[in-house]
């Protein structure tokens, strides 16, 4: 698909939303922002940005590049830090193998949605809050239609952490585990080593 055809198709999709004033207003503001980003970004940087694997990542990269400019810092001092936060969360999503809704988790485990919620509250399942969408469950904690053995034992030890910090611990490489992630170590049955890594994380690495 040529850029011209892609733009024409995008215009058609936008026009389909024009009857909704809120969607139309959002589209107008978003298009204005994208046009400004195109004009303010060097061609070499545009090539790097458009190499991203998804459209959303392209937009995030463009905003990050813009947010680091002096003009953007003056206009919106918090923009760069907010975008870094979005990028970090996106990387966590990917490292976690994606996030699952409660209905999917209920199907995987063969239990009711209420039972899933009960396990979350009891720190037997990890879920992250995503605002109005409620809670989503990192896919990495499941295997073969069950919770990975050890996950339900390690989560209660991390109740003082936010769910995002707990996820960061589980999916990031850890020196005490020879660079493996705690999830990978739990796959190998190394619960005690993961407990030790969690204790160190709670003391030093959860900031």
**What would the pLDDT profile of 46-89 be if each residue is shown by its tens digit?**
888 888 777 877 877 777 776 655 444 445 556 666 666 666 77
Please answer whether residues 177 and 197 qualify as being in contact, where contact means their C-beta atoms are separated by less than 8 angstroms: yes
Q: Which of 59, 78, 95 is the last residue of a domain?
A: 95
* Pure H helices in the chain: 3-16, 21-40, 43-49, 55-67, 70-75, 79-95, 102-109, 113-121, 151-154, 163-171, 182-187, 191-200
pTM: 0.63
In terms of residue numbers, what domain contains 78?
3-95
Give the CA distances from residue 52 to residues 57, 58, 64, 193, in Å, rounded to whole numbers and listed in that order: 6, 6, 13, 36
| Domain co-membership, 143 together with 109 | yes
CA 4 remoteness from chain centre: 32
User: Higher confidence at residue 204 or residue 75?
Assistant: 204
Q: Are residues 198 and 105 in the same domain?
A: yes
In this prediction, residue 192 carries a pLDDT of 93
Query: Same domain, yes or no, for 86 and 107?
Result: no
* Number of structural domains found in the chain: 2
């Amino acid at each position: 698909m040529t850029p011209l055809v892609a733009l024409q198709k995008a215009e058609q999709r936008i026009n389909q939303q024009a009857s909704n004033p809120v969607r139309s207003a959002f589209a107008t503001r978003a298009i204005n922002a994208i046009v400004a980003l195109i004009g303010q970004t060097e061609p070499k940087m545009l090539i790097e940005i458009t190499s991203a694997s998804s459209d959303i990542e392209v937009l995030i990269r463009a905003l990050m590049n813009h947010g680091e400019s002096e003009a953007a810092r003056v206009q919106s001092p918090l923009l760069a830090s907010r975008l870094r936060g979005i990028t970090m969360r996106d990387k966590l999503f990917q490292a976690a193998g994606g996030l699952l809704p409660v209905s999917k988790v209920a199907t995987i485990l063969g239990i009711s949605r209420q039972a899933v919620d009960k396990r979350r509250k009891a720190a037997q399942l990890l879920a992250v809050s995503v605002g109005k969408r409620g809670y989503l469950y990192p896919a990495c904690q499941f295997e073969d239609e069950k919770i990975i053995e050890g996950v339900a034992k390690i989560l209660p030890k991390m109740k003082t952490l936010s769910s995002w910090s707990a996820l960061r611990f589980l999916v990031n490489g850890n020196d005490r585990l020879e660079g493996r992630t705690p999830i990978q170590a739990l796959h190998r049955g190394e619960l005690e080593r993961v407990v030790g890594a969690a204790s160190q994380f709670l003391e030093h690495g959860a900031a």
